[in-house]
Amino acid sequence: MFRIEHNVETGEISQIQLTNVEIAEIEKEKIEFEKLIAKEQAEAQAKAQAKVALLAQLGITEEQAKLLLS
């Protein structure tokens, strides 16, 4: 895995090999980010399901609910 550095003053572009520590840190951050995305998706899905259940319980559509709240 490489890191690319671009010196804008000289226009020089360098490709630098990452160390094992840097690669491990990137992998750790990737896993944490994937967990965060999964958690946010689960929360959004739960919220959407709760909304659908509430609208069904009230016997109205989403558009009707918007009209009531406007």
Mean pLDDT of 50-65: 93
pLDDT digits (tens, 9 = 90+) for 3-30: 999 999 999 999 999 999 999 999 999 9
Judged by phi (left if over 0) then psi (alpha if -120 to 50, else beta), residue 3 lies in beta
Both structure tokens of 4:
């690319």
> Bridge partners of 17?
2
Could you give the percent of the chain with pLDDT greater than 70? 100
Q: Compute the distance between CA of residue 63 and CA of residue 70 in angstroms, rounded to an integer.
A: 11
Contact 2, 18 (CB under 8 A): yes
SS3 55: helix
Q: Compute the distance between CA of residue 22 and CA of residue 32 in angstroms, rounded to an integer.
A: 15
